[in-house]
Structure 1
């Protein structure tokens, strides 16, 4: 290998021309350059380590600040901020390096660092909306159950009222037919049936004139037939009702002659007497 010959050097005022000195000088030059390259590499490694430490400290500080902000919004106690310190840079005593120049400030990345914070902020909102949804579903379920129960109760009450109204209307129908249907041959039995289907003051008044009524029917020699055309409950309570009755009667005498039918409109009061419903008052409507 050929080495470049260096210029003549002056040592103690004498010129050195020994060829061996040129070889030694070339080796020293290579070693010096290797040491310089190694020092530059160590310097670059130190700069990189310092940059990594600064970046890590900056990231930890931002995470601690974000955690404090989340704690303040949610009302929780602030967590103790812990900042990790960078490892000290080890410098070899044998290979000293020059003073490390300040590292430029690492550029912040708000979008990448804000993503975890954004995710943490969305979790309470999702939980809140889920709780609201569960509460709303519970309220709707309770409302539907309440409406169903009320509708069932109303339906039962309506059925009970219809049944009671039918009973009162049937009792009024039968009472009018009994009252207006007379046969002179069975006058006393017909009068007794009227008394049995009467109650209250109406019964007392009819009992007082029952004998005279039967006598008049026997002497007149007439037969009266009655039909009820329609009934309607005007008002009603649990044990009484006022029923409107439209009826038609036809009178036949002993000889068989028939009169034209007559139409009657009556207001009949009925009351519950034991296990039966009886007439308590009868009025002719105009």
Structure 2
């Protein structure tokens, strides 16, 4: 009885209460310890995330630096002068080539005109220079320089013509007074020729010269040209 009465005043803890108290405290400590561990893990994760962000930012900065690169140096006056010189040389070479081609074309056209004119002149001489003693050769020379319809027509008349010349003992000599191109194309031309012709035969050995005018068509065949038609004009 004495013990029961004194207990309230001194607030003596019984062994059972102490055991319960000690049992509760570890749970509290465990809870506190768990909470602290979670906080530590979260903090560590946050630190890792910050480190990753920093690393990514550094990598982006490095990539940006590589893409931008150092600024280019301006082109010097020497390089500009060299480029301008090269452009001028190329332009002059092109101009020289074009002028050379034009000169070649002009020279070739002049050669063709001279060829047509020469063939026309020679054709007129062949037709007006015939000797009865060399009639065969003279007629053959006319045929060799002829082509087209003129060749066909003269070939058909060649034999009767030679017989008349031989019977009359005719001789004619032509001299070119004037000749020029009337028209000119790629492969043909017309040549106007003025010829003075002296004629003699057995019945009239001496005759006055006669002036003939001819329009001779010349056609180019390959590298040569031949008479394709002959007209006598007033």
Question: TM-score, with normalisation over the residues of structure 2?
Answer: 0.58
DSSP-derived class of the 2:206 partner? coil
SS of equivalent residue, structure 1 residue 209? helix
**Matched residue, 1:80:** none
Which one of the candidate residues 108, 131, 149 is aligned to 1:201? 149
Deviation at 1:204, TM superposition (A): 0.7
Residue of structure 2 aligned with 1:213, choices 133, 152, 161: 161
Quote how far apart the aligned CAs of 1:131 are. 7.3
The total of aligned residue pairs comes to 166
Tell me: higher relative CO, structure 1 or 2? Use CA pairs within 8 A at least 6 residues apart: 2
- Residue in 2 aligned with 1:251? 199
More helix by share: 2
In structure 2, the residue corresponding to 1:169 is in which secondary structure?
Answer: helix
Instruction: Give the match for residue 231 of structure 1.
Output: 179
Structure 2 counterpart of 1:153: 101
Q: How far off is 1:148 after superposition? A: 1.2
Counterpart contact for 1:242–1:269, Cα < 8 Å: yes
User: In structure 2, do the counterparts of structure 1 residues 162 and 131 end up closer, same or farther at CA, with 3 Å as the change threshold?
Assistant: same
Matches within 5 A, 1:1-286: 137-254=85-202, 257-273=205-221, 276-286=224-234
| Alignment RMSD (CA, Å) | 3.1
The CA distance in 1 between the partners of 2:84 and 2:179, in whole Å, is 51
In the alignment, structure 2 segments of 5+ residues that lack a partner are 1-67
Mapped to 2, the partners of 1:171 and 1:200 lie a distance apart of: 15
- Is there any run of 5+ residues in structure 1 with no aligned partner, and where? 1-75, 78-122
